[in-house]
Amino acid sequence: MQFSDFGLERRLMTTVDHLGFTEPTEIQQQAIPAAMQGHDLIASSKTGSGKTLAFIIPALQRLSKNRALSKRDPRVVILTPTRELAKQVYAQLRLFTSNTQFKAVLVLGGENFNDQVKVLEKDPHFIVATPGRLADHLSQGHFYLNGLELLILDEADRMLDLGFAEQLSQINKAADHRKRQTLLFSATLDHAQVNDFAKELLNKPKRIAIGGAFTEHQDINKRFYLADNLDHKETLLQHFLNTETYQQAIIFTATRSDTERLARLLLEQDINAVALSGELNQSQRNQIMDGFSKGHHKILVTTDLASRGLDLVNVSLVINFDMPKHAEEFIHRIGRTGRAGSKGDAIAFVGPKDWLSFKNVEGLLEQTIRFDCIDGLKAKFKGLKPKKPKQKPTKPNAEKLVKATQATSKKSTKKIFHSAQDVGDMPIIKRKKPLSAQYIEDTDLDEVE
Ligand code: ADP
Ligand code: MG
């Protein structure tokens, strides 16, 4: 199948040609014709499979073929969970609108409100926005949605996870034209809230699911390495940064402070790294993401802030310095590489604190993961195994756990280390801060072998 088979409007087809795309991806093959027929859609496919064009193309087709329902109201609203993602969608949209009469604007949280009011007063045809800020403008009557033709929700599951349900409902209610069409894209369709939401927003939707949204990404070579502690992880990191071939890499850490610490460590070794942390204000974050996507930095060190949706074509290496808390996040993280058919490498370090997360990822991928090993950097840690289910915790153990849970003082922190050691846990990780609840959970595990 070719893009030319869709019967796209001439200018739209020219832009696709200019982009050098001939064959639509699987999700595009299914979503574009269904959306062009006017169906509501609830669609999912793995990251990097071309979902953005799967909604931009039918949106533009509809606008060029149909007359507007209103002279002033926006015709298409595209909502995304994060500002970074909104910018990326907007950039792709602009490639298509720049040679047309259609005006597209970007309305993001964290940016100047009054400037946005002026932009909205110019009656744009397309609005790409984060839901919170758009809902604010809507409440204040800076624009109306009665003539909206197409409402597009990109990464709907993520928007719901971020607590945007109320704003999405508000936007949905305001866009009340009977001819309105709605396209919902989500990384997974198993998300209960997404399904409830789909019932509220969509009218007899077609469901399109390409593979399991979490099926393995064939172009990403995943490798897992056991690690004893923080120092060991840092040594492994150095090793891979020296030996892997990559244009750009992203390193994911569990904590904000680690993003900065690692970036500093790399900079000291003349490796061009930058940290993206939640403590930065929006314009600083924008600057860092812009710089990284333009190739000004070789390495981005971040928490899960940057794991979703971003399309960074030169990233061919992702390192999970720490495993993510939620297994799905792993798929999103490694999906930052291997974009659109190119190959990628995803490396993960699994220490005692990562063990539960690792097991969840293993469950999600539905496979037994084998660990790779580097000569001279082999971990003593072999993994943990759950306690036998029937075995009730003995009293002293239970007491220990309660105490550990309450532990905040230096003294009681020590206690947690001890309980970790009691179950044969790894060489003690030297941490100044009290340990988190996650670590306490780990103490309920026995070492393998
Ligand atoms: P998703 O939203 O599914 O994660 P994106 O829409 O961000 O994926 O697309 C990922 C990459 O694939 C982008 O760089 C995009 O330009 C490219 N791409 C999209 N459609 C095609 C296609 N038909 N052929 C080749 N590359 C494509
Ligand atoms: Mg996307």
Query: Which of 20-34, 174-188, 266-280 is least confident?
Result: 266-280
Is residue 372 a part of any domain in this protein?
no
**Distance of CA 398 from the midpoint of ligand 1 (Å):** 51
For the segment 136-151, the average pLDDT, to the nearest whole number, is 96
What pLDDT is attached to residue 327? 81
Q: What is the pLDDT of residues 276-316, one digit of tens each?
A: 876 777 778 878 888 888 899 999 999 876 655 566 778 88
Instruction: State the ligand closest to the CA atom of 85.
Output: 2
Answer yes or no: are the C-beta atoms of 24 and 33 closer than 8 Å.
no
Is residue 408 a part of any domain in this protein?
no
Name residues contacting ligand 1 (CB within 6 A).
Answer: 21, 23-25, 28, 47-53, 311, 313, 339-340
Residues 241 and 201 in one domain: no
Residue that is last in its domain, among 349, 365, 381: 365
**Distance of CA 72 from the midpoint of ligand 2 (Å):** 28
Question: What 3-state class would DSSP assign to 59?
Answer: helix
Nearest residue (CA) to ligand 1, atom 19:
50
Supply the CATH number for residue 128's domain: 3.40.50.300
Residues 187 and 99 in one domain: yes
The pLDDT of residue 447 is above 50: no
Secondary structure in 3-state letters for 354-422:
HHHHHHHHHHHHCCCCCCECCCCCCCCCCCEEECCCCCCCCHHHHHHHHHHHHCCCHHHHHHHHHHHHH
Give the number of the atom of ligand 1 that is nearest the alpha carbon of residue 154: 2
**Distance of CA 195 from the midpoint of ligand 2 (Å):** 19
The pLDDT of residue 446 is above 80: no
Is residue 399 a part of any domain in this protein?
no
The full DSSP string for 96-110 is HHTTSS--EEEE-TT
Amino acid present at 367: Q
Residues 218 and 94: their CA atoms lie apart, in Å, by: 31
Compute CA distances 281 → 83, 264, 403, whole Å: 12, 19, 38
Residues 204 and 226 in one domain: no
pLDDT tier, 9 (very low <50, low <70, confident <90, very high otherwise) = very high
Residues 233 and 349 in one domain: yes
For the segment 77-94, the average pLDDT, to the nearest whole number, is 95
Residue that is last in its domain, among 209, 237, 254: 209
Instruction: State the ligand closest to the CA atom of 335.
Output: 1
Nearest residue (CA) to ligand 1, atom 2:
51
Task: Name the residue with higher pLDDT: 422 or 151.
Answer: 151
Which of 301-305, 346-350, 435-439: highest mean pLDDT?
Answer: 346-350
Answer yes or no: are the C-beta atoms of 167 and 138 closer than 8 Å.
no
What pLDDT is attached to residue 163? 87
Residues 67 and 41 in one domain: yes
Is residue 427 a part of any domain in this protein?
no
Residues 172 and 251 in one domain: no
Taking the mean position of all CA atoms in its chain, how far away is CA 51? 14
Residues 250 and 168 in one domain: no
Instruction: State the ligand closest to the CA atom of 17.
Output: 1
Is residue 417 a part of any domain in this protein?
no
Residue that is last in its domain, among 332, 365, 398: 365
Compute CA distances 238 → 7, 262, 336, whole Å: 51, 11, 21
State how many domains the chain has: 2
For the segment 248-257, the average pLDDT, to the nearest whole number, is 90
Q: Which one, of 235, 223, 258, 221, lies nearest residue 379 by Cα? A: 235
**Distance of CA 194 from the midpoint of ligand 1 (Å):** 23
Answer yes or no: are the C-beta atoms of 120 and 142 closer than 8 Å.
yes
What pLDDT is attached to residue 449? 31
Q: What is the pLDDT of residues 381-425, one digit of tens each?
A: 998 877 666 555 555 555 554 454 444 333 333 333 333 322 222
Nearest residue (CA) to ligand 1, atom 5:
50
Residues 156 and 182 in one domain: yes
45 contacts: CB under 8 Å, gap ≥ 6: 25, 26, 27, 51, 208, 209, 210, 211, 213
**Distance of CA 65 from the midpoint of ligand 1 (Å):** 24
The pLDDT of residue 431 is above 50: no
